[in-house]
Amino acid sequence: MAEDIKVIVFSLGEEEYGIEVEKVKTVERLMPITRVPKTPPFIKGVVNLRGVVVPVIDLRGRFGLAETEATEATRIIVVNSGEMEVGFIVDRANDVTDIGSDQIELPPEVVGGIQAKYLRGVAKTEGGRLLVMLNLSEVLNKSELVQLEQMEA
């Protein structure tokens, strides 16, 4: 019997993505972001989240997708990545759903223009939805994490 994984579903454009619930700390409305010099363009800066400085990454920029204007639906999904928290800007946070671990297939080389290394797989849900599951350890690679940790300090 396959184990069910709870995932938070979010959107970038028309594509739907998933992150395991246990890796997500909170989902927040977009808030003022303080720019940090000398960081890659997809790192938007930092936010103060209840007294904790959290680096914020634009997932569209990270994946090389065209950036769009923020809307009322834009959210920051704060995840735990190793020892630190990182916020991802997404177009919409849609819902929470259960996915059987046997429903996740290896990703094709490119999904919606995003390289496979950023993806854990593609899940087919019972409702016929395709969810692109993120590989958080690749979305934030080691050298970028070091850079983000220095930002926090």
52 vs 60: CA distance, rounded Å: 24
pLDDT (tens digit, 9 = 90+) per residue, 27-45? Answer: 999 999 999 888 888 889 9
Range name among 19-33, 77-91, 104-118 with the lowest pLDDT average: 104-118
Q: What pTM value is reported for the model? A: 0.85
- CATH 3.40.50.150 assigned to 4-152: no
Tokens of 129: 């939805």
Tens of pLDDT, residue by residue over 62-95, are: 888 888 999 999 999 999 877 788 999 999 998 9
- The full set of domain ranges for the chain reads 4-152
